[in-house]
């Protein structure tokens, strides 16, 4: 049975999601939560196998460097946003007064929305949702939808950063509105989770 854990107590208030099955672990957007994630791994005797990025901004990718000091893992990211991992201006590491270097023991795999991916005999769907960045994605597992900075419970992601596009974001929101079931719970990159049926009624952008 899949277990879900969230960490968000950090300066950037970014949500990191940990999905574990038996002693296997998958992390979505490690961001600024690397130390909390490592403490959780140690306490629960887990093995980190995979990290997935909803997009390539520094507040979502920062923890990769720290996690890679303890584990070798594969990194799933859209091919478009993989370019942000190599540019501290475009991923905004410089805005945080920092840098980002992808560790050599991390193997990059490009996401494919036509195929999704399998992890420990569990099926995940990738939904391309450009707008916040050109390569932003949402990740669906059963009735859980991890939306990154595409949509929050009460707002949407900004589009004034590198590769952001308001027209694309509106198209992505329209797609989610038409294709995500009311029973789905969204888990955004920032802020609380919420039932999609409620979010659609209360979020002024939907």
Pair 185, 196: CB distance under 8 Å: yes
- H/E/C letters for each residue in 120-187? CCEEEEEEECCCCCCCCEEEEECCEEEEECCECCCCECCCCCCCCCHHHHHHHHHHHHHHCCCCCEEE
Give me the pLDDT at residue 176, please.
Answer: 98
- Inter-residue contact 21 to 122 (CB < 8 Å): yes
Write down the pTM of the prediction. 0.97
* CATH no., domain 3-202: 3.60.15.10
Burial of 94 (0-12, 13-18, 19+ CB in 10 A): middle
Q: Is 89 helix (H, G, I), strand (E, B) or coil?
A: coil
Q: Which region, left, alpha or beta, applies to residue 149 given φ > 0 means left and ψ of -120 to 50 means alpha?
A: alpha
pLDDT of residue 113: 96
CB 177 within 8 A of CB 197: no
Please answer whether residues 25 and 11 qualify as being in contact, where contact means their C-beta atoms are separated by less than 8 angstroms.
no
With beta carbons less than 8 A apart as the criterion, state whether 111 and 76 touch.
yes
Q: What are phi and psi of 91, to 5 degrees?
A: -90, -5
The pLDDT score that the predictor gives to residue 10 is 82
Helices (runs of H) and strands (runs of E) counted in the chain: 6, 12
pLDDT (tens digit, 0 to 9) for every residue of the chain, 206 residues total?
Answer: 899 999 998 888 999 999 999 999 999 999 999 999 999 999 999 999 999 999 999 999 999 999 999 999 999 999 999 999 999 999 999 999 999 999 999 999 999 999 999 999 999 999 999 999 999 999 999 999 999 999 999 999 999 999 999 999 999 999 999 999 999 999 999 999 999 999 999 999 99
- Cα–Cα separations (whole angstroms), residue 129 to 5, 23, 74, 173, 192: 24, 31, 22, 8, 20
Note the pLDDT of residue 58.
98
CA-based nearest residue to 155, from 85, 206, 93: 206
Q: Where are the domains of the chain?
A: 3-202
């Amino acid at each position: 049975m899949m277990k879900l854990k969230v960490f968000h107590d950090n300066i950037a208030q970014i949500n990191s999601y940990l999905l574990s099955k038996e002693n296997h672990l998958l992390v979505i957007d490690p961001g600024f939560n690397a130390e909390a994630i490592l403490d959780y791994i140690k306490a629960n005797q887990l093995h980190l196998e995979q990290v997935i990025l909803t997009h390539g901004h520094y507040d979502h990718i920062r923890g990769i460097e720290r996690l890679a000091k303890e584990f070798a893992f594969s990194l799933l990211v859209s091919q478009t946003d993989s370019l942000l991992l190599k540019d501290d201006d475009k991923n905004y590491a410089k805005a945080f007064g920092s840098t980002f270097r992808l560790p050599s023991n991390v193997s990059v795999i490009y996401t494919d929305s036509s195929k999704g991916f399998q992890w420990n005999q569990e099926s995940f769907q990738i939904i391309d949702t450009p707008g916040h960045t050109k390569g932003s994605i949402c990740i669906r597992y059963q009735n859980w939808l991890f939306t990154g900075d595409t949509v929050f419970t009460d707002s949407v992601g900004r589009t004034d950063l590198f590769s952001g596009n308001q027209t694309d974001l509106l198209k992505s929101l329209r797609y989610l509105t038409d294709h995500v079931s009311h029973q789905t719970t969204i888990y955004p990159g920032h802020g609380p989770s919420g039932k999609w049926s409620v979010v659609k009624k209360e979020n002024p952008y939907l």
